[in-house]
Amino acid sequence: MRAVIFDLDGTLIDSLPDIAAAVAHVFSRRGLAALPPDQIKVMIGDGARVLLNRAFGAVGQVVEEADHAAFETYYTAHAADLTLAYPGIEAALQDLQASGHVLGVCTNKPEAPALAVLDALGLTKYFGVVTGGNSTPYRKPDPRHLAATLQALGTDDAIMIGDHHNDIAVAEGLGLPAIFAAWGYGKADWPLVAGAAFEIPGLVASLTH
C-alpha cells in the first residue's frame, strides 16, 4: 500500500491568518506597517526564511537575522491561534489510515511550528513522520526533501498531495504521482486535482489499484 505524503500549509491547514500575524509582529519590531493577508498568501510555500525575504522586499527593506529568529519564536508560540484544518481533512486522513496507508507530512515550514500546530489541531496521531523545512539540508522543490520523508517512513513508494508547484516538483523528481490540492495558496499546471478534501481518498485509491 502506497504511503501518502501531505504538504502542510494550504493543504492540511489554513494557516494564513497566523502566518500573517507573525509577519506583522516582526514588522512592528521594525516600525513597519503590516502587509494585508492576501499579499502574504502568495509568498507562502518556500519556507519561513523565503517568506520573510519576500515580505521585507515588498516594502523595500532587507530582512535581518534577528527578524528570522523573532518570526520563528512568535509563530511557534501562536501557530494555532487562528489556524484550522480544512473542512474534510481529518475525515480524509481517517479514511486513508483505515485503508492501510501510512501517512506523512513534508513541509517547508520549520519543524517546531509544524509539530506545534499539528498537535494543537489533534492531527499528529495520523502521521508516522513530519519532515520540516529545517529537518534536513533540503527543502522542496528539492526531491531529496521528500526522499528523506520516505526514508523515515521506511518506503520509497508514495503519493504526494500539496497545493504548490513545489509539491508537484518533488514528486516528479522521484518519479512518484501527485495530487494537487486546489483549495490552497498556490497554483500548478497538473492534471490530477482534488477540488475538496473529501475527494482525496478516492483519488488515492485510483492511483493505488
Residue pair 161/179 in contact by the 8 Å Cβ criterion: yes
11-28: average pLDDT: 98
- Of 208 and 17, the structure prediction assigns the larger pLDDT to 17
Together in a domain, 169 and 186 = yes
Give the CATH number of the domain where residue 180 resides: 3.40.50.1000
24-42: average pLDDT: 97
Confidence of residue 1 (pLDDT cuts 50, 70, 90): confident
Together in a domain, 150 and 193 = yes
Together in a domain, 67 and 57 = yes
Its pTM stands at 0.94
163-179: average pLDDT: 97
Q: Which residues contact 64 (CB under 8 A, 6 or more apart)?
A: none
Together in a domain, 28 and 114 = no
The total number of structural domains in the chain stands at 2
Vertex 166 angle, CA 160 and 169, to 5°? 65
The CA dihedral of 98, 101, 107, 113, to the nearest 10 degrees, is 40
d(CA 133, CA 111): 6
Together in a domain, 195 and 104 = yes
pLDDT digit string (tens) for 88-133?
999 999 999 999 999 999 999 989 999 999 999 999 999 999 999 9
Confidence of residue 188 (pLDDT cuts 50, 70, 90): confident
Average pLDDT, rounded, for the chain: 96
Together in a domain, 147 and 198 = yes
Together in a domain, 96 and 173 = yes
Helix (H, G, I), strand (E, B) or coil at 171: helix
Domain of residue 198 covers 3-14+83-208
Together in a domain, 157 and 183 = yes
Position 209 pLDDT exceeds 70: no
Give the CATH number of the domain where residue 42 resides: 1.10.150.240
Catalytic residue among 7, 9, 14, 18: 7
Sequence-ordered alpha helix ranges (H) in 102-173:
111-120, 143-153, 165-173
6: β partners: 105, 161
Residue 187 is predicted with a pLDDT of 85
Whether 7 is catalytic is yes
Last residue of a domain, one of 57, 78, 99: 78
Last residue of a domain, one of 59, 78, 97: 78
Q: Which residues contact 89 (CB under 8 A, 6 or more apart)?
A: 12, 13, 123, 197
Q: Which residues contact 118 (CB under 8 A, 6 or more apart)?
A: 8, 12, 105, 124, 127, 130
Together in a domain, 8 and 53 = no
164-173: average pLDDT: 96
Together in a domain, 52 and 93 = no
Together in a domain, 89 and 187 = yes
